[in-house]
Amino acid sequence: MKSLLLVPALLAFAAQAAPVTYEIDPAHTYPSFEADHMGMSYWRGKLNKNTGTIVYDKVTGAGSVDVKMDLASIDFGLDAMNTWATGKEFFNVEKNPSATFKGHFDGAKAGVPSQVVGELTLNGKTRPMTLAIHQLKCMSHPMYKRDYCGADASGSFKRDEFGLDAGKDWGFKMDVNLRIQVEAVAKE
Protein backbone atom coordinates (compact mmCIF):
# COMPACT_ATOMS: atom_id res chain seq x y z
CA MET A 1 0.00 0.00 0.00
CA LYS A 2 2.83 2.40 0.88
CA SER A 3 4.45 1.79 -2.51
CA LEU A 4 1.20 2.76 -4.25
CA LEU A 5 1.19 6.03 -2.34
CA LEU A 6 4.74 6.75 -3.51
CA VAL A 7 3.86 6.44 -7.19
CA PRO A 8 2.18 9.89 -7.46
CA ALA A 9 5.08 11.48 -5.60
CA LEU A 10 7.63 9.85 -7.89
CA LEU A 11 5.66 10.87 -10.98
CA ALA A 12 5.47 14.46 -9.72
CA PHE A 13 9.24 14.47 -9.10
CA ALA A 14 9.92 13.04 -12.57
CA ALA A 15 7.70 15.72 -14.12
CA GLN A 16 9.60 18.45 -12.27
CA ALA A 17 12.95 17.00 -13.35
CA ALA A 18 12.08 17.09 -17.02
CA PRO A 19 14.16 19.44 -19.17
CA VAL A 20 12.28 22.46 -20.51
CA THR A 21 13.02 24.10 -23.87
CA TYR A 22 13.19 27.89 -23.78
CA GLU A 23 13.16 30.18 -26.78
CA ILE A 24 15.55 33.13 -26.60
CA ASP A 25 13.77 36.45 -26.28
CA PRO A 26 15.45 38.63 -28.95
CA ALA A 27 14.20 41.83 -27.26
CA HIS A 28 16.14 40.96 -24.08
CA THR A 29 19.24 39.17 -25.41
CA TYR A 30 22.26 41.20 -26.46
CA PRO A 31 25.65 39.47 -26.58
CA SER A 32 28.31 42.09 -26.00
CA PHE A 33 32.05 42.18 -26.46
CA GLU A 34 35.15 44.24 -25.85
CA ALA A 35 38.33 44.27 -27.89
CA ASP A 36 41.62 46.13 -27.64
CA HIS A 37 42.32 49.26 -29.68
CA MET A 38 46.13 49.47 -29.99
CA GLY A 39 46.58 49.07 -26.23
CA MET A 40 45.10 52.53 -25.74
CA SER A 41 41.47 51.71 -25.05
CA TYR A 42 38.83 49.05 -25.50
CA TRP A 43 36.13 49.13 -28.13
CA ARG A 44 32.86 47.79 -26.82
CA GLY A 45 29.86 46.73 -28.79
CA LYS A 46 26.88 44.45 -28.94
CA LEU A 47 24.94 42.31 -31.36
CA ASN A 48 21.37 43.54 -31.69
CA LYS A 49 19.75 40.52 -33.40
CA ASN A 50 19.95 37.05 -31.91
CA THR A 51 17.98 33.81 -31.89
CA GLY A 52 18.27 30.42 -30.30
CA THR A 53 17.15 27.95 -27.68
CA ILE A 54 18.11 26.84 -24.23
CA VAL A 55 17.21 23.46 -22.74
CA TYR A 56 17.37 23.45 -18.94
CA ASP A 57 16.50 20.98 -16.22
CA LYS A 58 16.18 23.04 -13.05
CA VAL A 59 16.46 19.99 -10.79
CA THR A 60 19.69 18.51 -12.17
CA GLY A 61 21.21 21.62 -13.77
CA ALA A 62 21.68 19.75 -17.04
CA GLY A 63 20.94 21.36 -20.38
CA SER A 64 22.24 23.00 -23.50
CA VAL A 65 22.57 26.40 -25.14
CA ASP A 66 22.38 27.31 -28.82
CA VAL A 67 22.71 31.04 -29.59
CA LYS A 68 22.90 32.43 -33.12
CA MET A 69 24.22 35.99 -33.42
CA ASP A 70 23.51 38.09 -36.52
CA LEU A 71 26.84 39.78 -37.35
CA ALA A 72 25.15 42.40 -39.56
CA SER A 73 23.53 43.73 -36.37
CA ILE A 74 26.89 44.63 -34.78
CA ASP A 75 26.78 47.97 -32.98
CA PHE A 76 29.94 49.71 -31.78
CA GLY A 77 28.06 52.99 -31.38
CA LEU A 78 29.94 54.32 -34.42
CA ASP A 79 28.43 53.80 -37.88
CA ALA A 80 31.80 53.86 -39.67
CA MET A 81 33.14 51.09 -37.41
CA ASN A 82 29.95 49.02 -37.88
CA THR A 83 30.31 49.32 -41.68
CA TRP A 84 33.99 48.33 -41.60
CA ALA A 85 33.40 45.37 -39.23
CA THR A 86 30.62 43.88 -41.39
CA GLY A 87 32.59 44.42 -44.63
CA LYS A 88 34.97 42.16 -46.53
CA GLU A 89 38.04 43.23 -44.51
CA PHE A 90 36.71 41.75 -41.27
CA PHE A 91 33.50 39.72 -40.71
CA ASN A 92 32.48 39.66 -44.38
CA VAL A 93 28.82 39.10 -43.47
CA GLU A 94 27.95 38.27 -47.08
CA LYS A 95 30.04 35.10 -46.68
CA ASN A 96 29.62 34.51 -42.91
CA PRO A 97 26.41 36.21 -41.75
CA SER A 98 26.32 34.79 -38.24
CA ALA A 99 28.31 33.53 -35.30
CA THR A 100 27.05 30.75 -33.03
CA PHE A 101 27.77 29.53 -29.56
CA LYS A 102 26.63 25.99 -28.74
CA GLY A 103 27.35 24.18 -25.52
CA HIS A 104 26.14 22.20 -22.54
CA PHE A 105 25.75 23.12 -18.88
CA ASP A 106 28.38 21.85 -16.47
CA GLY A 107 29.34 22.11 -12.80
CA ALA A 108 25.81 22.22 -11.39
CA LYS A 109 25.23 22.70 -7.68
CA ALA A 110 21.65 22.60 -6.38
CA GLY A 111 20.43 22.59 -9.99
CA VAL A 112 22.37 25.70 -11.04
CA PRO A 113 25.22 25.17 -13.53
CA SER A 114 28.44 27.14 -13.10
CA GLN A 115 29.51 27.12 -16.74
CA VAL A 116 28.62 26.35 -20.32
CA VAL A 117 31.22 24.21 -22.10
CA GLY A 118 30.93 24.51 -25.85
CA GLU A 119 32.13 25.88 -29.14
CA LEU A 120 32.13 29.28 -30.78
CA THR A 121 31.77 29.34 -34.57
CA LEU A 122 32.94 32.60 -36.13
CA ASN A 123 34.27 33.45 -39.58
CA GLY A 124 33.74 29.86 -40.74
CA LYS A 125 35.93 28.42 -37.97
CA THR A 126 34.88 26.56 -34.82
CA ARG A 127 36.92 26.61 -31.60
CA PRO A 128 36.25 25.38 -28.04
CA MET A 129 35.04 28.00 -25.59
CA THR A 130 33.74 27.94 -22.03
CA LEU A 131 31.46 30.59 -20.59
CA ALA A 132 31.34 31.12 -16.82
CA ILE A 133 27.78 31.63 -15.58
CA HIS A 134 27.65 34.63 -13.23
CA GLN A 135 23.90 34.63 -12.68
CA LEU A 136 20.94 32.43 -13.57
CA LYS A 137 17.37 32.98 -12.43
CA CYS A 138 14.02 31.52 -13.47
CA MET A 139 10.56 32.76 -12.59
CA SER A 140 7.04 32.91 -13.96
CA HIS A 141 6.84 35.59 -16.65
CA PRO A 142 4.26 38.18 -15.51
CA MET A 143 2.74 38.63 -18.99
CA TYR A 144 3.29 35.28 -20.74
CA LYS A 145 2.37 33.21 -17.64
CA ARG A 146 5.10 30.76 -18.59
CA ASP A 147 8.46 29.92 -17.09
CA TYR A 148 11.09 32.56 -17.92
CA CYS A 149 14.85 32.28 -17.32
CA GLY A 150 17.65 34.78 -17.59
CA ALA A 151 21.40 34.46 -17.29
CA ASP A 152 24.65 36.34 -17.59
CA ALA A 153 27.71 34.44 -18.81
CA SER A 154 31.14 35.41 -20.10
CA GLY A 155 34.30 34.05 -21.61
CA SER A 156 37.13 35.11 -23.88
CA PHE A 157 38.74 34.07 -27.13
CA LYS A 158 41.58 35.11 -29.43
CA ARG A 159 40.15 36.57 -32.61
CA ASP A 160 43.19 35.69 -34.74
CA GLU A 161 42.36 32.00 -34.13
CA PHE A 162 39.25 32.70 -36.20
CA GLY A 163 41.21 34.41 -38.98
CA LEU A 164 40.27 37.90 -37.73
CA ASP A 165 43.71 39.42 -37.23
CA ALA A 166 43.17 42.99 -38.48
CA GLY A 167 45.44 45.38 -36.55
CA LYS A 168 47.70 42.67 -35.15
CA ASP A 169 50.72 44.17 -36.94
CA TRP A 170 49.91 47.55 -35.36
CA GLY A 171 49.94 46.15 -31.84
CA PHE A 172 46.26 45.32 -31.33
CA LYS A 173 45.84 42.55 -28.77
CA MET A 174 43.85 39.64 -30.16
CA ASP A 175 41.92 38.91 -26.94
CA VAL A 176 38.16 39.49 -27.07
CA ASN A 177 35.88 39.28 -24.05
CA LEU A 178 32.41 37.98 -24.88
CA ARG A 179 29.48 38.38 -22.53
CA ILE A 180 26.11 36.85 -23.30
CA GLN A 181 23.16 38.30 -21.43
CA VAL A 182 20.15 36.17 -22.27
CA GLU A 183 16.49 35.90 -21.37
CA ALA A 184 14.34 33.07 -22.66
CA VAL A 185 10.72 31.99 -22.29
CA ALA A 186 9.50 28.38 -22.11
CA LYS A 187 7.98 27.17 -25.36
CA GLU A 188 4.27 26.50 -25.24
pLDDT of residue 11: 45
Per-residue pLDDT band for 186 (boundaries 50, 70, 90) equals: very high
Q: Is residue 27 one of the residues assigned to a domain?
A: yes
Q: Is residue 7 one of the residues assigned to a domain?
A: no
Pick left, alpha or beta for residue 140 (phi over 0 → left; psi -120 to 50 → alpha; otherwise beta): beta
Q: Is residue 3 one of the residues assigned to a domain?
A: no
Q: Is residue 10 one of the residues assigned to a domain?
A: no
Q: Is residue 4 one of the residues assigned to a domain?
A: no
pLDDT of residue 17: 63
Report how many domains make up the chain: 1
Q: Is 94 exposed, middle or buried (0-12, 13-18, 19+ CB in 10 A)?
A: exposed
pLDDT of residue 86: 96
- pLDDT at 158 exceeding the cut of 60: yes
Q: Is residue 83 one of the residues assigned to a domain?
A: yes
Query: Which residue range is the domain that position 134 belongs to?
Result: 20-186
pTM of the prediction? 0.87
pLDDT of residue 62: 96
C-alpha to C-alpha distances, 133 to 29, 94, 105, 106, nearest whole angstrom: 15, 32, 9, 10
pLDDT of residue 117: 98
Task: Give helix then strand counts, H and E, for the chain.
Answer: 2, 11
pLDDT of residue 141: 87
Q: Is residue 116 one of the residues assigned to a domain?
A: yes
- pLDDT at 15 exceeding the cut of 90: no
Per-residue pLDDT band for 39 (boundaries 50, 70, 90) equals: confident
Q: Is residue 6 one of the residues assigned to a domain?
A: no
The residue ranking higher by pLDDT, 5 or 122, is 122
- pLDDT at 7 exceeding the cut of 70: no
Q: For the domain that residue 36 is a member of, what is the CATH number?
A: 2.40.128.110
